[in-house]
Amino acid sequence: MIRVLWNPASGRGRGALLFPRLRAAFEAHGLRDFVQSQREGDEARLVREAIADGVQTLVVAGGDGTWGKSAVALAQAGAPARMAFVAAGTGNDFAKNLRAPATDVEAMAALIASGGVERRVDLGRVDGNWFANVAGFGFDVEVLMATKGSRLLRGPAVYVAAALGQLFSFGGIPVRIGGVASLFAPRRNRLMLVFANGKEFGGAFKIAPMARVDDGKLDAVVFEDGIKLGRVALLARALGGTHIGHPKVFHKAGAEFELEFDSPPAYELDGDLHLAPSRVVTVASLPGVLRVLDSPT
C-alpha cells in the first residue's frame, strides 16, 4: 500500500501549487491515496495513521522540514515501512543524497509504482531529538531566525540573503568540543557548528561534500570565528564546498560528539529551532534507522 503525504505550505506555498501535477502523476500509475498535513508538526500523527492503515511506502512531498519530521516519526515507530521523497520545499537538501530524482514528480511516480529499491539510511540526534539532514549551532541558528522574517524571497535565495544579513552582527558562540580526538580543542569562540548527515543544507551550501547518509557517522564541520570580512569569504566557499581544508574550518566524521557550551544553546534540526535543556549536549548518529525507497542506479 502506497500513500502520499503532502505539505501545502512547503516551499512557501509551492507544495499547494505542485499538488495538481503531483496528483496527476501518481494517478497515472493508479496511486490515489493522498493525505495533506494540516499544520506544522502534523507529520507524526499522519505517519502513525499510515502505519496503522498498513502503508508500506509513504511518499512525502515537501521540503527538509516535512521530510525530517516524517522520517523521524517513521524511524521511531520501528515499522518496516519505507519513505520516498518528492521535492516541494525550499532547500530540498536531504533527497540530494539519494539516487531517486526527487525533483521530477513524474519520474518519482513511475519509480515508486515500480517498487524501486530499499536502502537503509542513518538519522542523527541531538540529546533526545532526532533529525534527518543537519543539526546546526551558532550562526546557523541566527540565519534561520532571520529567514523566518523574510517573506519576499523564495528558494535558496532565502538562506543566502539571510546569511549575508547576519554575517556582520553575530558574535560567535563559545564551545568546547569533545568526542573525537582531533577536535579536542579548548573552549573557543566558534562561528558555527554543523553536524551533517547529508551533504548539503540551506538549499545552496555544500556544507559536508564528503558526508554519506549510510556511513553510520555524522560529519562535524566547525567554523572557527575570525575577522568579519573573513566570514564572507568562508561563506562564499561553503556555497561550493571548498571551505573544507580552510585553516579556520575543522572537519571530522564521528559517531558521537559531546559539546559543552557556557549556557544551554539554541540549535536547529532540519530547519526547526530547539533549546537544549542543559549546557552539555550530545550529538550522535543513528545508523540505518530509516528505510527509504531509492532508484536502483
**Count of CA atoms in the C-beta half-sphere (13 A) of 174:** 5
* Interface pick for ligand ATP out of 71, 83, 90, 119 (rule CB under 6 A): 90
Mask for 256-295, x = binds ligand ATP (CB under 6 A): ---------------x------------------------
Q: Which residue is nearest to ligand ATP (CB)?
A: 63
Interface with ligand ATP includes 156 (CB under 6 A)? no
Residue 113 dihedral angles phi and psi, to the nearest 5°: -65, -30
Interface with ligand ATP includes 38 (CB under 6 A)? yes
- State how beta strands 272-275 and 266-269 pair: antiparallel
Interface with ligand ATP includes 136 (CB under 6 A)? no
**Shortest spacing between CB 211 and ligand ATP, in angstroms:** 17
The stretch among 24-32, 37-45, 134-142, 241-249 that binds ligand ATP (CB under 6 A) is: 37-45
Interface with ligand ATP includes 138 (CB under 6 A)? no
The long-range contacts involving 36-42, CB below 8 angstroms and separated by at least 24 positions, are: 36/5, 36/6, 36/7, 36/8, 37/5, 37/6, 37/7, 37/8, 37/9, 37/62, 37/66, 40/9, 41/69
Specify the residue, 66 or 285, whose C-beta has the smaller distance to ligand ATP: 66
Non-local (6+) Cβ contacts of 17 within 8 A are none
What does the longest C-alpha to C-alpha distance in the chain come to? 59
* Binding residues vs ligand ATP (CB under 6 A): 7-12, 37-43, 62-66, 69, 89-92, 203, 271
